[in-house]
Amino acid sequence: MLILFEQMLILASGVRMKRAVIVGAGIAGLATALRLGQEGWHTLVVERASARRSGGYLVNLLGAGYDAAERLGLIPALSDRALGLFTTVLVRADGRPKLTVPPAVAEAALGARTMSVFRGDLETALYEAVRDRAEFRFGTTVSSIDQDAHRVTVRLSDGTTQDADLLIGADGVHSATRTAAFGPDHRVDLPYVVAAFPLAHPVADVPESSATTFIGPGRTAAIVNLGPQRSSAFFTYRCANPGLELEHGPVNALRTAFGDLAAGVPEAIRDLEKDPAGAYFDRVSQVVMPRWSTGRIALLGDSAWCVTLFAGHGAALALAGADQLGTALHRHGQDIPAALADWEAGLRPEVTKRQALAHRGMHQYAPPSRFHVWMNDVTIRAITLPGIRGIVRRGIERQNR
């Protein structure tokens, strides 16, 4: 109703409303719809899935991502869903504690302007903020794309044709929009698999308000217990053939890769058996492209620059990318290609830095040897010392500027 009223006001004023088609109703797509709506655009969001998905893993909003969440008006809603700080216990394979990392260490590493939420809760907050300001079509895909200097024409699987000023591909690392507009050779698959899923009930072997984390050669398993509806599991491991792992499915693959572990891992995998489709289970990939736009078509979020979970900041970069895109479009008015070029020039240095940091993250989440595991433990022990903690905080703050 609100969007119809706004359209009537614009028609009455004689000003043509700019139109955008956004492919993908995840964090990047919803944030873009919200930000463009703030600039007076009419947005149509098309999503392949028949309904919004929930669940997912824990994400940190910090730096430009927190700033973007604040400008998008999300902080009040997210505050109700924020996970807060919790204790992390590093454990051995048999579940015996090895090292306890208190909440103060996480606070030092993340900084004051940060918020940790589950991915599904962030998507919910975005959807609730934009659902009355954008048009949504679920169970819909893009059939073809054509563009000229004045418009982009998008044909949809529901038989309709949309003429728009801008097409945004925010359909993730496996983006069909990217393949259609830029070709297929931009995804770089890495020899790792990741699984993340919510737990219906907290795991008994994990103390409340804490997470147990096992890090061994080539693999990590983490079980987070923050109470009912706030607990989750996260796994990642190195493998020779990620495609074959995906064929096995999450339950069989995780049982094979982590079946020797204790500390809540067996219970988490049993919980997954009840709803394997509810897990995020995929290979780990980066997307590396020389440019993110062509004419009136642009990619945003993982479809353009997936930095991988090893680098973190995926959700934060999606929010920052959407926010900065809206600013660039406002600045350049009718010259959309110039706006897209300006937007990319401002954002690319941060993306490039985060993609480079992913290679360091691989050694943290999937250490190549027992020696690397030991070195990681030494580093974490050092960070727990008060004097070192302050140095880490200052370094993180500089990194997030």
Instruction: Please check the confidence at residue 230 and state whether its pLDDT lies above 70.
Output: yes
Go through 93-108 and write b for each residue having 16 or more CB atoms within 10 A of its CB, e for each that does not: eebeeeeebeeebbeb
What pLDDT score was predicted for residue 106?
A: 66
CATH number for the domain whose boundaries are 2-76+118-187+288-360: 3.50.50.60
Contact 191, 361 (CB under 8 A): no
Measured from the Cβ of residue 78, the count of other Cβ atoms closer than 10 Å reads: 20
- Among 200, 281, 293, 290, residue whose Cα is nearest residue 247: 281
pLDDT bin (cut points 50, 70, 90) of residue 324 is: very high
- The reported pTM is 0.88
What pLDDT score was predicted for residue 9?
A: 41
Go through 19-48 and write b for each residue having 16 or more CB atoms within 10 A of its CB, e for each that does not: bbbbbbbbbbbbbbbbbbbbeebbbbbbbb
Provide the token pair at 354: 């985060």
Q: Which fold has domain 83-116+189-285+362-399?
A: D-Amino Acid Oxidase; Chain A, domain 2 (3.30.9)
What is the spatial distance between Cα 87 and Cα 76, in angstroms, rounded to a whole number? Answer: 25
pLDDT tens string 244-268: 999 999 999 999 999 999 989 999 9
Provide the token pair at 275: 């709803």
Provide the token pair at 38: 């703030």
> Which residues lie below 8 Å from residue 381, measured CB to CB, with a gap of 6+?
99
- Among 271, 222, 227, residue whose Cα is nearest residue 251: 271
pLDDT tens string 165-194: 999 999 999 999 999 999 988 999 999 999
Contact 61, 51 (CB under 8 A): no
Q: Rounded to the nearest 10 degrees, how much is the dihedral formed by the CA atoms of 301, 307, 312, 314?
A: 0
Q: Where are the domains of the chain?
A: 2-76+118-187+288-360, 83-116+189-285+362-399
pLDDT bin (cut points 50, 70, 90) of residue 386 is: low
Instruction: Please check the confidence at residue 392 and state whether its pLDDT lies above 90.
Output: no
- Average pLDDT taken over every residue of the chain: 88
Contact 313, 179 (CB under 8 A): no
pLDDT bin (cut points 50, 70, 90) of residue 54 is: low
Provide the token pair at 293: 């736009």
Measured from the Cβ of residue 49, the count of other Cβ atoms closer than 10 Å reads: 12
What pLDDT score was predicted for residue 208?
A: 86
What is the spatial distance between Cα 93 and Cα 97, in angstroms, rounded to a whole number? Answer: 10
- Which of 51-60, 220-229, 296-305 bottoms out in mean pLDDT, i.e. has the lowest? 51-60
Contact 171, 177 (CB under 8 A): yes
Instruction: Please check the confidence at residue 389 and state whether its pLDDT lies above 70.
Output: no
What is the spatial distance between Cα 284 and Cα 366, in angstroms, rounded to a whole number? Answer: 12
Contact 310, 358 (CB under 8 A): yes
Residue listed under structure tokens 């801008």: 166
Radius of gyration of the chain (CA): 22
What secondary structure does DSSP assign to 85-126, as a single string?
Answer: --EEEEE-TTS-EEEEE-HHHHHHHH-SSEEEEEHHHHHHHH
